Amino acid sequence: MTEGSGAALPGPRARTTGAVYLLYFLTAILAQTLAGRKMVAAGDLGNVVANALYIVLTLLFYLMFEPVSGMLSAVAALFSLAGCAIALLGIFHLAPAHFSPLWFFGPYCILIGTLILGSTFLPRLLGGLMALAGVGWLAFLSPAVARHMSVPIEGLGIVAEALLMLWLLIKGVNEERWRQRAARSRNP
């Protein structure tokens, strides 16, 4: 069955989600590179675009995981949107310095990991890695942990999200299982 071929159910749009994820990664890397080269305005613009892409990604993940648990998927989306709002406020120096977006992105990764673990249409390993990355992002908020463990925590987060992005781009989801799950959630 091809992606989006069912008339009754919209399909998970996995490869579109993977493509948006890739655009987010590339834009965020470019923004950090520009900011690191003292091109602050261009870096800020890149970060605004990256956050806009992450908002789109959040909505795509909400739709993908709604059949697993509509409530959990909605809570995850709210955490991500709050993190994006804090990140955007930070770009314009309107967020308190002590208020990190990781307070929201950590739980978001944990919830996405939980949704993947509860799904039957993505590998459980990806769910475990995402949940572990979320715990890492929350631990990163501790100055002592950030000082001694920043490289492994950042590496885990990047690897977990990159693997999920690549899986969605290359393999997509098991669409038959996604459709079965979506049909069950609409007709309990």
CA distances, 52 to each of 55, 110, 180 (Å): 5, 21, 31
Rg over CA atoms, the chain: 17
Q: How far apart are CA 21 and CA 50, in angstroms?
A: 10
Cβ atoms 126, 167 nearer than 8 A: yes
What is the band of 10 on the pLDDT scale with cuts at 50, 70, 90? low
Task: Give the pLDDT confidence of 60-111 residue by residue, as tens digits.
Answer: 999 999 999 999 999 999 999 999 999 999 999 998 878 899 999 999 999 9
pLDDT at 2: 42
- This prediction has a pTM of 0.90
